[in-house]
Amino acid sequence: MSLSDVRPQPVTVSVARTVQPGRTRQASAWAHAGQELAREWPGYLGSGWVRSAADSNEWHMLYRFADAGLLNDWEQSDERRWWIDSAADLVEVTRIERRTGIEGWFAEPGDALLTVPETVVPPRWKQMVSIFLPFFPLSLLANFLLHPLTQDWPLPLQVLLATCVLTPLMTYIFLPVTTRLLGPWLRAKR
């Protein structure tokens, strides 16, 4: 299997925005309006926002699209541009991150307050299973193939080589394929 065999991956965008003091209700309405606009866009998979505390002015807004091309279409659209421009005096962007692959499926610790009605974050045990399924056979195969070359090496160097080989394979090939194949099970409502 090559990288070209892997289908386009969903992209999750995290945008940290600072809301002007005293403008929480307006920011909430603005964020909701953006969700409604994006909801009708092709490839839209969900969105939401989280604040670190009830009185925090920093909001982390997330949205997810089926692939980078559909995300780009949304981000370059006149509708989104109008929506962003409408909050020029309400919010300020402080950071933007894009995530693909497995990290887009799993929320980071502390995201319990995230409101994303269109997306289900799998429980930790399902995350563990989805990582174990490709990792165990791949690790076994790597150890079988590398052992003749590294049997005289110190153990830390053997582990380092295996880790350097397995990490990109897991990140770019096996975990994206596994999360796609297990998608219905991972996203099943609890």
Give the residue numbers spanning the domain of 171. 124-187
pLDDT band at 114 (very low <50, low <70, confident <90, very high): very low
| Residue 3 confidence (pLDDT) above 60 | no
Residue ending a domain, among 113, 136, 158, is 113
Convert the pLDDT of each residue in 7-55 to its tens digit: 678 888 888 888 888 888 888 888 888 888 888 889 888 888 888 777 7
Burial of 62 (0-12, 13-18, 19+ CB in 10 A): buried
Q: Is the pTM of this model over 0.75?
A: no
Residues 10 and 75 in one domain: yes
The H or E element spanning position 94 is strand 91-100
Residue 52, SS3?
coil
Residue 10, SS3?
coil
Any domain includes 104:
yes
Residues 78 and 138 in one domain: no
Q: Facing residues of 101 across strands?
A: none
Any domain includes 81:
yes
| Residue 2 confidence (pLDDT) above 60 | no
Q: Are 118 and 47 in contact (CB under 8 A)?
A: yes
Which CATH number covers residue 33? 3.30.70.100
Q: Name the token pair of 1.
A: 């299997």
Nearest CA to 13 among 120, 100, 107, 112?
Answer: 100
CA dihedral 155→157→159→165, nearest 10 degrees, is -150
- Region 118-144: what's the mean pLDDT? 85
- Tally the domains of the chain: 2
Convert the pLDDT of each residue in 82-111 to its tens digit: 998 898 888 888 888 877 655 554 544 333
Nearest CA to 71 among 113, 10, 156?
Answer: 10
